[in-house]
């Protein structure tokens, strides 16, 4: 296996396997103009339900797109939340708001995608906040 040279491996909790899965599923980051488009590609964007005058009050995850990318992001997020203080604090904040664990993980996964997108675009390594 060739060596992976990606700044996302500097994020604590993302190992070579998950990093390789994420990079392989996303491919070229230049295909996406924003991290929201990667979220939609992974099926992590919220769906909307409208029918006439009825608006759905609870939006669910779409689950369209790459299920392998969604799997890799969810599993990587669980480990990043363990190893990184910023992500663990964010997960604790979402849990204190009354969100279910899986819903809170999906919020943290969205944050992780935004961080990964920024790291890949800038080429910088991830720095933990003290």
Count other Cβ atoms within 10 Å, centred on residue 121.
Answer: 13
Give, to the nearest 10 degrees, the angle between helix 85-96 and helix 67-83.
100
In tens, the pLDDT along 64-89 reads 778 899 999 999 999 999 999 999 99
43-67 burial code (b ≥16 CB/10 A, e <16) = bbbeeeeeeeeeeeeeeebbeebee
Is the full-model pTM beyond 0.75?
yes
Length of the chain: 130
Please give the Cα distance from 70 to 26 (Å, whole number).
11
In tens, the pLDDT along 80-123 reads 999 999 999 999 999 999 999 998 999 999 999 999 999 999 98
Radius of gyration from C-alpha coordinates of the chain: 15
**The pLDDT value given to residue 1:** 43
Chain Cα centroid distance, residue 56: 24
21-31 burial code (b ≥16 CB/10 A, e <16) = bbbebbeeeee
């Amino acid at each position: 296996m060739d060596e992976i040279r990606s700044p996302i491996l500097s994020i604590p909790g993302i190992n070579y396997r998950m990093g390789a899965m994420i990079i392989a599923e996303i491919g070229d980051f230049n295909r996406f103009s924003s991290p929201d488009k990667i979220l939609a590609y992974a099926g992590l964007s919220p769906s909307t339900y409208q029918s006439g005058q009825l608006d759905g009050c609870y939006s669910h995850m779409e689950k369209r797109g790459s299920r392998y990318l969604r799997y890799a992001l969810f599993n990587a997020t669980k480990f990043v939340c363990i190893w990184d203080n910023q992500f663990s604090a964010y997960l604790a904040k979402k849990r204190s708001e009354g969100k279910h664990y899986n819903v809170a993980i999906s919020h943290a996964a969205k944050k992780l995608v935004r961080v990964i997108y920024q790291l890949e675009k800038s080429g910088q390594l991830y720095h933990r906040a003290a």
